[in-house]
Structure 1
């Protein structure tokens, strides 16, 4: 049979084969290919890496795929720094860095791309690409490395830090001179300045807010070293004793770079520059003045166009940078507008103090009564045959007494206005169940940390009800207004609710502050104690929660953390943390030993072991669930040989 006669049979056979194949195929949508997760591959550079005598105006990097350049212009760091930003562009799969200025002669340049080189499709980053070349016959290869963190909480700067290396050793260089070399930290605060020439340098870190590569005192943070930096490199030869069968031994080795990594801590220089931030007249007799610096003992206010004596009373905020002024003379407070002259200490350009005067207008208008309320009030007055006498004004104590009092809790009550007299004998506390109301021996103390505030501390009994009473007219404020009667009942918590933390400190060489912190990013201080020698410190009556613990190396013994001073070459006071979140349970006591030998690396890696275990279990359960779903899907898939599967024939 000729081919022409065989064609019908061949066509029928092919159709039958297609039907058989399609009948046995699995039913389902075609699956997509795997996601591209491979970063770009660098194929070629022009010039070559570590090239000498470079004299071109651009460098080129050829990759195996197309790139996105958005991040490159933001993250690329060129050292030594250029006066003008280079032009960054691509041509096909080649990245071009085009210089806008002549490069310095006989200088080694380094380009740190960080993770800015990403492919065009999936944005896979090529991590930590660095490139360098020399414009002269020699290649500089020295380096300086380290880490920069916040001195107060040992966290890296979120925006990154700029490292500047100066061969000019004058103290003013960081303010006025562009640096010789620069680098930027990564997300962990780590940095490396490489391709440095031999010499002696000063190293600084600044959060360069205005991108001028210089330190702006009082507006930017700075970290500095107490020593000069002299980078060196030494080759250490090592004989390979494993090599056999040759007459001479193979000599290998490594290059050791010095100095060792630096660990630097940011501080914000406290530059005294006094000015008024804001003023407000909150009521006819209450004024608020906010300053950017402490104003205590240097502040005065004089009236303009009015005569008065002993017409004011000042209250300063806890930081002494805010002042509440109360007008005690009603003849002055009745004026809607008051011109005042504020006088306070300022420093001149030579740093010498002088009295600065500011004139301000303080205005106040009484709130207008709504027409509807005004008409209703007049209607009620018309209906009454005899008007009722106005009630005698009294002020109300402000308190923060909870319904459940902690066993180490304190009662505080505050007057809304300055107090003239307070008869504390009219304050009584007794057991709620005591029908005779026998007074308990309590003492009312004026709180020095808060104006117009009074407190009561007491050795509370667990699960016991108490009642606090303050008689009417126990206090009289500066306007002759008496206090209202006050009564509040509360109950203390059971003792088994609390836990306690004990720390056994060793190698204590200076005054210290230990703080119990909330387990959050703000690290709010809940409790703190001071100590100055080896021994134990106990925190009792702690709620069953998670805590962080921090110590301050209080070098000046003032009971708080101090930021240091670049002007005075004083480093920030050290801090350290317990490297674990402490979970305290009810009716439980924990004891921790803590060696306070200073950590040169200022480590902070606080682990929440319970949270880590929870995430581990969740990940394991998720994996097991996914594997189970895959097994079930495989069994139900047509053509599967597993139990319960089916095939289409």
Structure 2
């Protein structure tokens, strides 16, 4: 009986402890209701007010999520001076600065105010007031695109801003006067704008500075001045990267028996001029370094005219006096790499890249193997050097006869096959495999027409890995055709090559030049992907050019040419 009584007491203590313990209730519906604004001071649409502090009172406890970046304030104020706080159900904004006279201010809180429990953001939370006796009501709206979008287009952090004409700042130097966040579909609207003339910009503000970083962020600008005396819809921006830092020669000096020229940034075009270039002198260009080689040491300085061009069109011309002294420095070893793993249909095209200019090739140890015992010697007629002044790329082309049914062909080079201008040989052998595709495994043709733009065009097939699979240059035609295409999922990309230099040119903000337009094929569902199967012939894959940056080309009094 005593034991029974003790057991009863023990169970009672446990039950009492359980009842006394507090815990979060489980079950029940999840709170999905956003905070509701109950009171604002000043009230929305207020006139003749210059508040020092803005207070918002909600129906529940709230907190702020990254307010310095998420809350958009227009027109421009010194946001570094603004203090944002949330206490219980009240949000306070201390401005700590004098507002302008006769100006309409917009405080767009977007998704910065959320409830405590489930972080539901307050909806359509915007306070508009004027320091004068009227509310500015003009608006500017449109859409933002990317010329080279990621696999999944992300408009997060994309902003659109306008600056009054006469303002000494721009998108690269300071935040705009009026500002808007782009929505998830790329659309934007700037509201409550004062009548006036403005310059317009868009950019992806990845670092939250409210201005564009030209070295790292995509951006775009409208060349024309916008005269806002009425609402303006339909403004288009096309974002892309464009580093406008001019190319420079940082230094030049001897390196062993060679001569180095070091650049501030990579050049897209490098031209060296000397009477003996390609005979006695050769060069390589790698990223930001140009290295000139001589076939022998020399006591005299040798002149080279160097012409450099960067991606945005800046150029640099310099006369360099290079020296090639005797040197005890051990020459760099010769290395070779190949585009191994490439597929081909009829013509095997191998590309061999060297770290230094070639002097000679021993063809006795260079061949194509296609089974364990059969080889095809690579003759000099099968080889070519794209640039005799550089001699660092060797092309090998061989038309495989139909009588050879093998699938894998291997380019092989033994050690000591290649000798460079410093008399160094390749110390390791080279093996590069190439796969021959069967005719029945290929798509017959992909063809179509381009409308809404004028040639020349660069038409590209881009695979699912965002790699360039095929490319065509159309000098005067608007129709394209790719034949014998390997099956897969592709995008068709078109570059409007305005200057015909066979490459895409980015914008140049300094010279007020827009980037060359880039647009894509779109299927019936509005998606860019094109699925290709073996044996298919896809015709009439027509491509409509996307709108260029700016307003639609109509007689519009809202536009003034620069």
The reply to whether TM is greater than 0.5 is yes
Is 1:497 the counterpart of 2:441? The answer is: yes
How big is the shift at 1:512?
A: 1.0
* Residue 594 of structure 1: how far off its partner (Å): 0.6
- Aligned match of 1:570 in 487, 493, 513? 513
Q: Is the 8 A contact 2:47 2:131 kept in 1?
A: yes
CA contact (8 A) 2:65 2:114 kept: no
Question: Does the CA-based 8 Å contact 2:159-2:180 persist in structure 1?
Answer: yes
1:516 aligns to 2:461 (yes or no): yes
Q: Assess, with a 3 A threshold, how the Cα gap between structure 1 residues 277 and 93 changes in structure 2: closer, same or farther.
A: farther
Task: Give 1:380-459 correspondences, 5 Å limit.
Answer: 398-402=337-341, 406-414=345-353, 417-422=356-361, 443-448=382-387, 451-459=391-399
The answer to whether 1:205 aligns with 2:202 is: yes
Query: Which residue does the alignment assign to 2:127?
Result: 131
For residues 509 and 251 of structure 2, the distance between their equivalents in structure 1, rounded to whole angstroms, comes to 26
Cα offsets for 1:608-641 (capped at 9, x unmatched): xxxxxxxxxxxxxxxxxxxxxxxxxxxxxxxxxx
For the pair 1:260 / 2:233, whether they are aligned, the reply is: yes
Distance 2:346 2:123 in 1: 55
On the 8 A contact 2:348/2:397 being kept in 1, the answer is yes
Match of 1:323 in 2: 290
Can you list the C-alpha shifts for 1:64-103, whole angstroms capped at 9, x where unaligned? Answer: 1111113323311111121253222234312122221122
Is residue 472 of structure 2 the alignment partner of residue 477 of structure 1? no
**Partner SS, residue 227 of structure 2:** coil
One of 529, 538, 541 as aligned partner of 1:593: 541
Q: Give the 5 Å matches for 1:337-376.
A: none
Higher relative contact order (CA 8 A, sep 6+): 2
Give 1:180's aligned residue.
177
CA distance 1:298–1:292, change in 2 (3 Å): farther
Taking structure 1 as reference, are residues 415 and 224 closer, same or farther at Cα in structure 2, changes over 3 Å only? closer
Aligned 8 A contact 1:54 1:133 in 2: yes
8 A contact 1:160–1:189 mirrored in 2: no
Which residue of the other structure, out of 162, 167, 171, is the alignment partner of 1:165? 162
Please tell me whether the aligned partners of residues 491 and 521 of structure 2 are also in contact (alpha carbons under 8 angstroms).
Answer: yes
Q: Secondary structure at the match of 1:111?
A: strand
**More helix per residue:** 1
When residues 207 and 473 of structure 1 are mapped into structure 2, their CA distance, relative to the original with a 3 A threshold, is closer
Q: Does 1:56 align with 2:51?
A: yes
Distance apart, 1:539 and its partner CA: 3.3
Deviation of 1:162 after TM superposition, in Å, equals: 4.0
Change (3 A) 1:398 1:284: farther
Gaps of 5+ in 2: 1-24, 551-562
Query: Mean Cα displacement is larger for which, 32-41 or 430-439?
Result: 430-439
Cα separation, 2, equivalents of 1:147 and 1:289 = 41
Equivalent residues in 2 for 1:518-533, closer than 5 Å: 518-520=463-465, 523-531=466-474, 532-533=476-477
Task: Say which of 220, 233, 244 aligns to 1:270.
Answer: 244
Note the aligned Cα RMSD (angstroms).
4.9
Q: Which residue number in structure 2 is paired with residue 608 of structure 1?
A: none
Distance 1:55 1:472 in 2: 81
Relative distance call for 1:545 and 1:271 in structure 2 (3 A) is same
Deviations, residues 527-551 of structure 1 (Å, cap 9, x unaligned): 1111232334123242x22112211
- Corresponding residue of 1:534: 478
Q: Which residue does 2:498 correspond to in 1?
A: 555
The SS at the match of 2:66 is helix
**Do the aligned residues in 1 keep the contact of 2:253 with 2:259 (CA within 8 Å)?**
no
Report the CA distance shift for 1:36/1:177 in structure 2 as closer, same or farther (over 3 A).
closer
Q: CA deviation at 1:500?
A: 4.0
Which one is further off, 220-229 or 544-553? 220-229
| Per-residue CA distance 1:130-168 (angstroms, 9 max, x = gap) | 220111111111111223333344986755244332222
Secondary structure in 2 matching 1:496: helix
Q: Give the 3 Å change call, closer, same or farther, for CA 452–201 of structure 1 in structure 2.
A: closer
Provide the secondary structure at the position in 2 that maps to 1:139.
coil
Question: What is the aligned partner in structure 2 of residue 102 from structure 1?
Answer: 98
Aligned length: 497
Paired residue for 2:14? none
2:198–2:227: 8 Å Cα contact kept in structure 1? Answer: yes
Choose the corresponding residue for 1:583, options 506, 517, 531. 531
| TM-superposed deviation, 1:598 | 4.4
In structure 1, how many angstroms separate the alpha carbons of the residues matched to 2:315 and 2:458?
A: 35
Distance 1:44 1:402, change over 3 A: closer
Indicate the SS of the match to 1:125.
coil
1:378-401 per-residue CA deviation (whole Å, 9 max, x = no partner) reads: xxxxxxxxxxxxxxxx97865445
TM-score when scaled to structure 2?
A: 0.72
Distance 2:208 2:430 in 1: 59
- Correspondence for 1:307: none
1:194 CA drift (Å): 1.3
